[in-house]
Amino acid sequence: MNASASDEAREVSATTPAHPDWSDRADTLSAWQRTKLAVVRGFLVGWVRLFGLNGLYRFGQFFGRCEYGVDYKRRGRVNERLAEMFPGMMSPEERRAAVLRYFQRTRCDKMIYTIFDRLPREALLNRIRFPDREAFDRLLAKQRGMYVAMSHFGPHHVAAMTMALLGYRVAGVRDRNEGALRRYIQQKFADTFPEFAAVRMFFADSFPREIFRCFKENFVVASALDVGGERVADGRLRTVPVKLFEESRDFLTGPIQMAIRCGAPVIQGFVLALPNFEYELVVHDTLLTGDARDESPEALAAVVQRYADGIAEYMRRHPCHITKIS
């Protein structure tokens, strides 16, 4: 690690906690939340035993169609958001079809995520596609780690699980405020899969120096740069304005700078949801090969704008993978 990376690490307070323990996160759930989630998991596992995973997928498609029919407020928000993102590019019929697929996709994603730990390892691995793995491994072979710039589009929450099962050493950055389902299931994953228990997770508001160690130890470090709301408004995070879908947004630059200082390659990744609970890990673009040393505001802005352009291109191909609808 170079001197600038060490200087950055020393800026972090020595009192910054290490990555959070999975059980600590789950302990914040109430008894009612645990009971409710356990009942849902039991029902879904029973369905899989009776009808298989393909049967569960068909049930999720049906359930999602029903949600589409009754949840008119969310249906309207998704439709409006797609119209804003793609003005004049989608007909009303195309938007309605994309909204229906959105409801079906999100319902199926939640179902499989809820019972990941109750499925045979082989069943999970057989449903993971990674067509760019060879190129990915070549970049990781530089032994300087890798930063994967994810985004809040598609089922990105399954990325850490699938990458860990594929044998990669994974670290991630996440918000402290997570939903009950995510906290509950992450503990179950850690209890069942040693690979997931070894995943290092860091809170987004701390950026501890352990992240630099992860790069040095050749971890795949992943987080989303397209954050918003309070995380950007508080002024503590380094951001740069970009244009996304004709809108001005502030995206993070700190993770890119950390990767540059460690000499780590930077790629843009997505998770694509396919029929029958298959998922494809997509390497959309290599933003930096690991040889760049330019941290100027102009250079960072160019990289993050390229990242934003990648999101726009991906969403035009897969509009049903929208997640931010407000």
Could you please report the per-residue DSSP string of 233-280?
Answer: HTS-S-EEEEEETTEEEEEE-HHHHHHHHHT--EEEEEEEEEGGGEEE
d(CA 1, CA 261): 8
Q: Would you state the pLDDT for residue 1?
A: 42
Q: Would you state the pLDDT for residue 146?
A: 96
Predicted confidence (pLDDT) per residue in 285-306, tens digit: 999 998 888 889 999 999 999 9
Q: Would you state the pLDDT for residue 28?
A: 66
> What is the chain's pLDDT, residue by residue, as a tens digit (326 residues)?
444 443 433 333 333 344 555 545 555 678 888 888 899 999 999 999 999 999 999 999 999 999 999 999 999 999 999 998 888 889 999 999 999 999 999 999 999 999 988 998 888 899 999 999 999 999 999 999 999 999 989 888 788 888 999 999 999 887 766 677 777 888 888 888 888 888 888 877 666 688 899 999 999 999 999 976 555 555 567 899 999 988 899 999 999 999 999 999 999 999 999 999 999 999 999 999 988 888 899 999 999 999 999 999 999 999 999 987 76
Cite the beta strand spans of the chain per DSSP E: 128-129, 146-150, 170-174, 200-203, 220-224, 239-244, 247-252, 266-274, 278-288
Q: Would you state the pLDDT for residue 3?
A: 42
Could you please report the per-residue DSSP string of 195-220?
HHHT-EEEETTT--THHHHHHHTT-E
Q: Would you state the pLDDT for residue 4?
A: 41
Q: Would you state the pLDDT for residue 13?
A: 33
Q: Would you state the pLDDT for residue 225?
A: 92
Q: Would you state the pLDDT for residue 10?
A: 37
Q: Would you state the pLDDT for residue 208?
A: 61
Q: Would you state the pLDDT for residue 11?
A: 37
- Using an 8 Å Cβ cutoff, are 281 and 128 in contact? yes
Q: Would you state the pLDDT for residue 207?
A: 61
Q: Would you state the pLDDT for residue 145?
A: 95
What number of other Cβ atoms are within 10 A of residue 204's Cβ? 19
Sequence-distant (6+) residues with CB within 8 A of 317 are none
Q: Would you state the pLDDT for residue 14?
A: 33
Predicted confidence (pLDDT) per residue in 232-285, tens digit: 555 567 899 999 988 899 999 999 999 999 999 999 999 999 999 999 999 999
Predicted confidence (pLDDT) per residue in 7-16, tens digit: 433 333 333 3
